[in-house]
Structure 1
Amino acid sequence: SWGYWWLKTPLPGVVWCNCPHMAGLDGLKPEDLTRAEVQGRKHIHAVVDFVREKLPGFEQCYVIDVAPQTGVRQTRLLEGEYVMTKDDLAQRTRFDDSIARGRDYYMPYRVLLPKQIDNLLVAGRHYSATSQAQKMSREIPPCMAMGEAAGVAAALALDAGVRVRDVDVHALQKTLRAQGADPGDQTGRNADVPSLAAHIQNREAA
């Protein structure tokens, strides 16, 4: 699996390695975060020694940079007006209030809205989702898209003098599209799973 860990960059001869992964640590505990920084760097040095010996082309490799802080994949998650599920992602569920999309899944505005707190929007990997759904959707592009949607929603709320939960979502979607974003409210190149299944059934029946 080593070949899948190395990602190309625009710089000749420079690759990015998305590793090491360290399980069994709690991202809410300072002690574990400190342990991760120390343990992670030990892993990195071991990886460099390994690839120099085992991977052709890496004989003279060296580390240019390391992330300034260990990335934590999951800790607390928001309990929002809607909680995304693994099935929502797998079935490519469409939402009338969709404001962001991943590769082939969609996030409704309600996943940014806390249940009991007004005028707060939560975007990124903490958004309202089950643990299994978050594992599938915490990628950087949809997190950025949620962040853009949250920023635009906040501006629209200020302009209209309303709470963020009362923002006109259709106006939000329209503004996002005008900025070049894809809020996921319109059918695009990614087919809906239910629509695709119906199409296949119709073809088989014919």
Structure 2
Amino acid sequence: MFENREAAGRLLAAKLKKYKNSKEAIVIAIPRGGIIVGAAIAQKLNLPLEAISVKKLGAPFNPELAIGAVAQEGNRYIDWVMLRTVNAGDDYVEREVETKFKEVDERIRKYKIRSDRLLNYSIFILTDDGIATGATTRAALNVLNNLKPKRSDKKLIILAVPVISDEVFKQLEGEADEIVVLEKPTDLGAVGQFYNEFNQVNDATVLEILEKLRR
């Protein structure tokens, strides 16, 4: 159990201390809650922070259930097993993808995200406040795996999260070079249950943090 997102971020930073003060490393956070975790990591390790724009694809009649996710640079991840489980048709999926890509673009504008900022780094520490299904994380990892930084020969992707289900951890092992976690339960119902304080994070807070910790 974590006191709050900031405390969880500090605990993750302790496991990532080998990257402290690295000129090659940058922390990349999934908004909104992940920004608080990412800020704590970035401040502890003296690293810059950037956001990544990702939106979950919701199931028909249950938008909270993820059937995939889309992200900036046209990246997408579809959970075909879940798609068949909820019987989502092709027309529905295409409409949902189109809608969520518009939201991805809006978030890019709102948070002033620029992918070219990432090209000067080779070590990417991706974080969020927790991973339940892994859909948004997979889409974000697609962005980073497709990225071609100036020093791509030394490219390293680290996924660092406070809590992730054991099943999803195993699924993601091949998509990041390293996964750093604090809690890995066999049954993860909701990320918020692992926090004493799990308040909503608004856009103004996200933008304020990014403007402070970007370089």
TM-score calculated relative to the size of structure 2? 0.22
Structure of higher CA gyration radius: 1
Larger RCO: Structure 1 or Structure 2 (Cα < 8 Å, ≥ 6 residues apart)? 2
Q: Which structure dedicates a bigger proportion of its chain to strand?
A: 2
